[in-house]
Structure 1
C-alpha cells in the first residue's frame, strides 16, 4: 500500500512537472514581462523607475546632423538647443531616429541610416539618444516605456513650437524604438500627424499580443518585419513588409549570426536605399497573410519612400538572399516565383 501511494505521488509530480514545463514554453515569449516579480525584483524596479517623463528627459541627448555632419549634441531637457548652432531650420525637412534596447545613436546602423537619410532626403536629422535607460535590463526599459514616449513627444512638440512642420517630418524606429515611434506618433495625432513613419522589426516581447492600430501613428506608416522571436506579430501598419521567409526569418542569418534575423532588418532597410529589394506579387504558399495582401505594380521595390503611394497598402512579401546586400535580382526573383 505504501509503495502504491509513493508511486501515485511520483506520477502526480511528473504530471505537474510536464504541465509546468509545457506552460512555460507556451508563455516564454510574453510571460516573462507580465509575471509578478519577486519582492527583491519589485523593489529594484521601483527604486530605479524615474518619477516622471522629465526625469527621463534629463538623461536623454539630441544629436543634430546636417549634410551628414554632426552639428550639435545637446541635452533633451534644454529647450534652447535650436538656437545653439544646430544648423536646422524650420523650413527644413526633419527626420527623427530612435534606437533600440542596449543601443545608442553611436551604433554603426544609426550612423549609416543618418548618412543615407542625409543623402537621399536632406534636411535635418535628429537622433534621440536614450541609451542611459536603454543600457539597463529590458524589464527596466519596458517599465519606462510611457516615460520615454512622453519625453520624446515633448521634444517633438518643442520642434513644432519653433516652427517645424510635421508635414515635412519623418520618424524611424528599430525594435524597441519602433514601438516608441508608433506610440509617439499616436500621442501627437490627430492634431500633429507625422507625415511618414518607418519601423524595423518593432519589438514584440512585452507589447504583444495586445492589438494596437499602428496606422494611427502617422499619415503613412510602413513596418518591416524580419524575425519570429523578437519582432511583433501585430500587423496593423499601412504597409507590413514581410522580409525573407514570411517576415519570420532571414536566410542571411547563416552568414550573419551576430546580427540574427532581428538585427538584419535594419541592415536590409539601409541597403534598400541603394539596392532594389523587389516584392512578390503573390503570397508565398508557405506564408500566411494576416492582413490583406497589397496590390503592387510590376517591379515594385520596398524601402524608404519619399512620395508614399497610397494605392499600395497591406502585406508585402519580399524574399531576401544569403549574402550582402541581401536582395534578390529580378532574375532570381522570377526563378523563385516559378518554383512556388
Structure 2
C-alpha cells in the first residue's frame, strides 16, 4: 500500500511537471524559437560568415535619395560612396532616414507620404533605405536577418558620415520592424555617433518582447508611438512613449479601417500629426494601468514630429484618437472626454 502511494505521488508530480513545462513552452514558444542560437563557431569562420551574409543583404538593398520630394538618386547599398552631386543633397544640410517594415518597401503609400511631409516641413535630404527583398519573405526569416540588416544599415549611415553628414542634423524614422531596426542602428552607433532625433511607430513586438532594451540609447531624442496590443512592443523605454487611442493598445478608427488595423493606423496617425493637432491628456486615463513614469503635460500640448525637442516633456503621454480621419480630437472633445 505504501509503495503504491509513493508510486502514485511520483506519477502525480511527473504529470504536473509535464503540464507546467507544456504551459511554459506554449507561453514562450515564439521567444524560444526566435532567440535560439547555435554553438559558437571559431572566430575566423564567424567573421567570414558575417561578412558574407552582410554582402548578401546589402547587394539586394537600395539607398534612395529624395530632394524637394523628388527622387534624385537610387544606389546599391553596397556602394562605398554615393554621388551627392547627382542626388542634389548636400552633406551640410539636414538629413532624414526612413525604414519600412515587414512586407513593405520605400514605394508603399505611407512611405511616400512621409517623405513628402518631411521634405515640406523639415527640408534637406530624405533617404529611404529599401530592404524589401529580404522583407518580402516570412517574418521568421526577416527576424533571423535582424542583426545582418542592422549592420548593413549602420554601414550605410557610416558611409554618409564619412561623406560629411553630421549626426546632430540627422533624423530617423522606423515603422514596425523598421522601428526596431532604427533603435538597434542608433544604439550600434552610440556613443561615438549620436543621431539627434529618432521617431518610431508601433515598434514590432513579436520576437523582440519581453527582452528589456533601453531604446533611449538609440539617439539624443527618441520618441516612440504605440498603437496596438498584438503587433506592437510592450517595452516602453524611449524618452517619450506616446500611447495613442485606448492606452496605446487599440485605435477606435480600426472599425472603419479594418485593412490597416490598430498597428497600421499608427503610421497614418503619425503622418497626420504634421497637419492636424493631436492633443495629449494632462493625466493618465484611469483605465490605462501603467508602472511607467507619466510625462508632465503643458496645456494644449500636441504630439508628432518635433523639430526642437522639449526635454522637459518625457515619459508616457496619452493621446486619444477618433473614429474617423484624420483621427484627432478637438480641444472641446478632449475636454468632454476628460
The normalised TM-score by structure 2 is: 0.88
Q: Residues 91-141 of structure 1, C-alpha deviation per residue, up to 9 Å, x if partnerless?
A: 110000000000000000000000000000000000000001000111111
* Distance in structure 2 (CA, Å) of the matches to 1:16 and 1:254: 43
CA drift at 1:290: 3.1
Match of residue 110 from structure 1: 111
Match of residue 10 from structure 1: none
* Distance in structure 2 (CA, Å) of the matches to 1:103 and 1:50: 25
CA drift at 1:22: 5.6
RMSD of aligned alpha carbons: 2.4
CA drift at 1:84: 5.7
CA drift at 1:15: 9.4
CA drift at 1:31: 5.3
Please state whether the residue corresponding to 2:198 is helix, strand or coil: strand
Match of residue 301 from structure 1: 302
Q: State how 1:188-207 maps to structure 2 within 5 Å.
A: 188-207=189-208
Match of residue 95 from structure 1: 96
For structure 2, list consecutive stretches of 5 or more residues without a partner in the other structure. 1-14, 39-49
Please state whether the residue corresponding to 2:336 is helix, strand or coil: helix
For the Cα contact (< 8 Å) 1:289–1:315, is it kept in 2?
no
* Distance in structure 1 (CA, Å) of the matches to 2:30 and 2:224: 21
1:167 aligns with 2:148: no
Please state whether the residue corresponding to 1:312 is helix, strand or coil: coil
CA drift at 1:27: 4.0
Range 106-115 or range 73-82, more displaced: 73-82
Match of residue 241 from structure 2: 240
* Distance in structure 2 (CA, Å) of the matches to 1:27 and 1:288: 24
Q: State how 1:305-316 maps to structure 2 within 5 Å.
A: 305-316=306-317
The aligned length equals: 317
Match of residue 324 from structure 1: 325
* Distance in structure 1 (CA, Å) of the matches to 2:100 and 2:237: 21
For the Cα contact (< 8 Å) 1:235–1:290, is it kept in 2?
no
Match of residue 5 from structure 1: none
Match of residue 70 from structure 1: 71
* Distance in structure 1 (CA, Å) of the matches to 2:109 and 2:22: 39
For the Cα contact (< 8 Å) 1:50–1:56, is it kept in 2?
no
Match of residue 4 from structure 2: none
CA drift at 1:58: 1.1
For the Cα contact (< 8 Å) 1:224–1:241, is it kept in 2?
yes
Q: State how 1:1-340 maps to structure 2 within 5 Å.
A: 26-27=27-28, 30=31, 33-34=34-35, 51-83=52-84, 85-337=86-338
* Distance in structure 1 (CA, Å) of the matches to 2:158 and 2:166: 10
